[in-house]
Structure 1
């Protein structure tokens, strides 16, 4: 199993967990908005300052949409997979 397949499987698992988490909250829209905001903020911070630590995370459609839907855990997975 290569790292790309492992990454996609982990993103699918995290997406399922996040959907369940969002729909169990009382304030669903607020939870989704905060998750998207923290995910985008984490992605932009890693993109801007990641080069200082040897992490290159480009801003492309996949990364931006992943951080919007999955939040900060997606960015953590991207950084981890970057080191593998």
Structure 2
């Protein structure tokens, strides 16, 4: 499991990333906003970014924070 810090405009959040190679998926969790998701290997970057942005819109007041965090998560998940 990797723990990353995402520096956003409003706050810094800890992001927990666990790769499950056997099931070909990655678990991502952000406890401070009570959010988690499972990302299958086959999900493409465009649809993943869009999905994450939609999910973060309700958690953050700033759409910029939602976009920025979505892009960071996609980058971190794909480099594992």
TM-score by length of 2: 0.32
More strand by share: 2
Q: Which has the higher helix share?
A: 1
Larger Rg: 1
Q: Could you tell me the TM-score, scaled by structure 1's length?
A: 0.31
Q: Which has the higher contact order (CA 8 A, sep 6+)?
A: 1
